[in-house]
Every structure is written in structure tokens, then in C-alpha cells.
Amino acid sequence: MAEFQNKTYTINIGTDNFKEMATGNDLFVDKTSFVSALLGGGYKVTLITRPRRWGKTLNMTMLQYFFGILQSMVHNELHSKPWKI
């Protein structure tokens, strides 16, 4: 347990689901700047090498959630306007 701004949070060890961590009452380090760094790198391939339990899978689920939101926004935008044929 950790206390921050007079609230008690659980430090959830072993969770690899970003949505669960972001919407729950868990304390985690915000790594959303990772999305910007990853996309702004201009590389064709990115290899992420870190030790076990370092958050690799959590970062991947964060990207999956991020791109799922973008995909949903594009889908809604495309289907909300009438198309002229």
C-alpha cells in the first residue's frame, strides 16, 4: 500500500493490462510518453529489451488500447458523415 495525497493506493505487481491499471485504484508510473517516443522515433523496427517484470507487456497493452481508441475514432468519423457517390 502507498499513500499519496491522503489517498491509499494499491501497488499492483504482476498486472499487464493497461486499461485495468489506468481505471482502477492502483498506483502506477505513467508511461504514456512512451507512445510519443515510440512513434516519433522514425524507425521501422523497435526492439524493447528489459529484464523480467519491467513492464514490457504493460507497455504493449497500453499501445493496443491507444491504437484501439484511434481506430474507433476514425471508424466513427468515417461512418458519421454522409458520403457523396
Asked whether residue 62 carries a pLDDT value surpassing 80, the answer given is yes
Least reliable range by pLDDT among 5-9, 18-22, 56-60: 5-9
CA–centroid distance for 66 within its chain: 6
Grid-cell match 461512418, residue found: 79
Domain-located, residue 85? no
What is the pTM for the complete model shown?
A: 0.58
pLDDT at 70 over 60: yes
Q: What percent of the chain has pLDDT over 90?
A: 0
The answer to whether 37 touches 53, Cβ cutoff 8 Å, is no
Express each pLDDT in 24-46 by its tens digit.
Answer: 777 777 777 888 888 888 888 88
The answer to whether residue 74 sits within a structural domain is yes
- In whole angstroms, what is the distance from residue 41 CA to residue 50 CA? 18
- Which domain covers residue 11, as residue numbers? 2-80
Establish if 26 belongs to a structural domain: yes
Q: Is residue 67 part of a domain?
A: yes
Q: How many domains does the chain have?
A: 1
Return mean pLDDT, the chain.
Answer: 79
End-to-end CA distance of the chain: 59
